[in-house]
A and B are shown apart, each in its own frame.
Chain A
Amino acid sequence: MKHCKAIFILLFLGYISAYGQNTLLQNGKLSGNVQLDAQYYIPDSIIGAEDLENKIRANVFANINYVNGGFSAGFRFEHYEWPLIDFEKINYVGSGIPYYYAAYNHQYFEVVVGSFYEQFGSGLIYRSYESRNLGYDNATQGIKVKAKPYQGITITGVWGKQRNLFVNEGQVRGADADISFTEIFPIIGDSKFRSGIGASFVSKFEKDQDPDYKLPQNIGAFAGRANFGYAGFNLQGEYAWKCNDPSAANEMIYKPGEALLLTASYSMKGLGVFLTGLRTDNFDFRTLRNASINNNIINYIPTLTREHAYALPSMYAYSSQAVGQIGFQAEVTYKIPKKTVIGGKYGTDIMVNYSRIHGIKKNYVPEAIAADGTIMLAGTDGYTSPFFAFGKEVYFEDFNIEIGRRFNKSWKLIVSYVYLNYNMEVIEGHTGESNVYTHTVIGDLTYKINDKHALRLELQHMNTKQDDGNWMYAQLEYSIAPRWFFSVLDRWNYGNPEKEKQVHYYNVSTSFVHKTSKFSLSFGKQYEGILCVGGVCRVVPASYGCNLSIVTSF
């Protein structure tokens, strides 16, 4: 029945798009996109690729949007009935139209009814967003009203249910005010100063049905933020506080939570310096107390580390620990000027990045310490924690340097070194695992044969004594702009302590791009690992097989 409805709406829109141009859609515009990711699975016991009953799987979704002046409406059809195995593992299984909306945008206000994505400030207490490749979508379904009474002042209110996988559960509501002094006062706007402040409040409701504890049902969170800038300097910060919220994530403690995010940057032509610090304490915020992994999350705690684009260092990526973490990141980018002895004809890019994250220091309250010394947190206030103290345990450390240089019109080289210290026990929840220390060197060479043809060779080597041992990676990519890509790669776990697991994870792929459509076909083995997008991560199971992907927008 659900399908009939979806197909009917699709057909209807297809019809008006094709034939209704002169009538219904005189000033309106219909647009959208479609994505299909399909895979044929081959079992492989050595890498851990399962022997699946249903061997052909696909993720399909299509967005359709209609815009006419300030009015817009749209929906997303999702078909994940037999999804790719990684989506099945996180229970992203279902189909239908989980996302639909109608909106009106005016100079002074904006109203959205239905599903929407929104964030307050940096998202510390509220962010609804989607990351389709991760299977993450916590859109709020309800109503959003934005008032813009005066240039530089925006007030936003949201109220609704939260999407989790294919159901809407968990109630959330909130309001935010954003004031930009730069826009309100011309005297600031015309100067080199920039300044603004903002404040938000979010609350969730969940009935208390716990037989043992008396749990709070309405839980509020507050946040305040400010930013200040002068010419190349920029400083911004946000502090958030949350009422006591006993949950599975914090082991049922009645302690309030808090979070602080500070960022400073300075930049001038050729030089950029960036510094950021973050502390979160008991700040796991979900609409349902018993939710785990990436389910029912209301807020977004950014990850303070660099998101590596190269395959081997991204194997050990940090994922933000909302329940408790303190750390910082520093980054300097510098361009050695062009036409100098050291910089060469085109200049040379240098980037150095360092981040370090620890657990927070915890002094357990006396009620949480049992007579025999064991810690029993449930039902207590948990612990106290000095605000700026680093805990002893290192969660993650990353030092990396990247140098890029073009030698002439044809040749370009990027070299990079990455050191990582990865706390597997905390980040992946594997009790008893030791930290993983890795050293990776990367070379990335591009040779432009002519205006359209280019070859790119990527070589990486990761050295580690822990986990699966050493890795080697080689990839050769050939592109013919703007249409064709061909790539072969091999990722070899030659240092695995278990001989039979010294596997070649090879992959052969090609893709064809025509304007906004992309068709890709690949064959190979996928290493069991962690996929992270924007600091949110999920486990990707090992797989072997043939993959087809089609993406188009219109």
Chain B
Amino acid sequence: MKKLIFTTLFTLFLGFSMAQEAPKTKSFSLPSVDIKTIDGKSFNTKDIQNDGKPIIICFFATWCKPCMVELKSIAEVYDDWQDETGVKIYAVSIDDSRSSAKVLPLVNGNAWDYEVLLDENQDFKRALNVNDIPHTFILNANKEVVWQHASYAPGVEQEYIEIVKKLLEEKP
């Protein structure tokens, strides 16, 4: 029992002490992982880009309800976001072979304009230390992750676009 408490506390302490470090390092570049595009082409995550404008990466799966709500909500305002800020959204599906073939009809069926990537083996998810989905990352002009958020609550997308706007203002 003692051991359990000790290890638990220790692990948490370590986690948070490292988490505290995060602001110091501020931002980090995306890891290089081979995944696939929605047409089955291989794609390296280093090639995620938006001509020097901010990028949002949303991890999702077809079976994840909050993820669907998030992507549908953003889809309603995505045109406005793009007009105002030029932001680009990459939606990364972690569906496995049970449902990965559903991603394409789902994306087309909902008429989403996102760039959609398939992370069937969850290599990209692991490399970014994503525990659960939905999980969202915001990247600055240099393609560095400057902000991330786990879970989805209605209205949180408002915060995404505010951060994107701030990034644009910071730009010299």
A interface residues (Cβ-Cβ under 8 A, vs B):
3, 7, 10, 14, 17-18, 21, 29-36, 38, 54, 56, 58, 60, 62-63, 65, 67, 70, 72, 77, 79, 81-82, 95, 105, 110, 117-119, 121-123, 129, 148, 151-152, 154, 180, 182-183, 189, 194, 196, 227, 229, 232, 234, 236, 261, 263, 265-274, 276, 300, 302-304, 307, 309, 331, 333-335, 346, 349, 406, 446, 448, 450-454, 456, 479-482, 484-485, 511, 513, 515-518, 534-535, 550-554
Contact = CB atoms under 8 A, between A and B. Distances in A.
Contacts of A72: 31, 127
A518 B151 contact: yes
18 contacts: A18-B21, A30-B18, A34-B11, A58-B8, A119-B96, A129-B122, A232-B108, A263-B101, A266-B105, A268-B108, A273-B105, A276-B101, A307-B98, A309-B65, A346-B76, A515-B147, A516-B148, A553-B130
Given A10-B11, A229-B40, 14 more contacts: A10-B10, A77-B11, A119-B120, A152-B42, A180-B40, A234-B101, A266-B105, A267-B108, A269-B108, A272-B106, A302-B99, A349-B72, A516-B149, A534-B63
A29 B28 contact: yes
A451 B127 CA distance: 33
B159 A36 contact: no
Contacts of B147: 515
Nearest to A229: B39
A554 B17 CA distance: 10
A17 B18 contact: yes
Contact of B11 (A36, A151, A454): A36
Contacts, number: 244
Interface string B94-124: 0011110110111111110000000011110
B115 to A, nearest CB: 17
Given A21-B25, A54-B1, A182-B40, A481 B156 contact: yes
Interface residues of B, number: 70
B127 A265 contact: no
Contact of B101 (A58, A236, A550): A236
A309 B18 contact: no
A488 B130 CA distance: 27
A65 B130 CA distance: 12
Nearest to A76: B126
Contacts of B102: 265, 274, 331
Interface of B: 1, 3-4, 7-8, 10-12, 14-19, 21-22, 24-25, 28-29, 31-34, 39-42, 63-65, 72, 76, 96-99, 101-102, 104-111, 120-123, 126-132, 135, 147-151, 153-156, 158-159
Contact of B110 (A30, A154, A333, A446): A333
A534 B131 contact: no
A307 B154 contact: no
B98 A534 contact: yes
Nearest first, the 10 A-B pairs at minimum CB distance are: A272-B105, A272-B109, A267-B108, A34-B15, A122-B97, A302-B98, A481-B155, A454-B154, A479-B153, A307-B63
Contacts of B42: 148, 151-152, 154, 180, 183
A349 B34 CA distance: 33
A333 B106 contact: yes
A515 B109 contact: no
A370 B29 CA distance: 67
* Residue with the greatest number of chain B CB neighbours at <10 A, chosen from A82, A234, A453: A234
A63 B121 contact: no
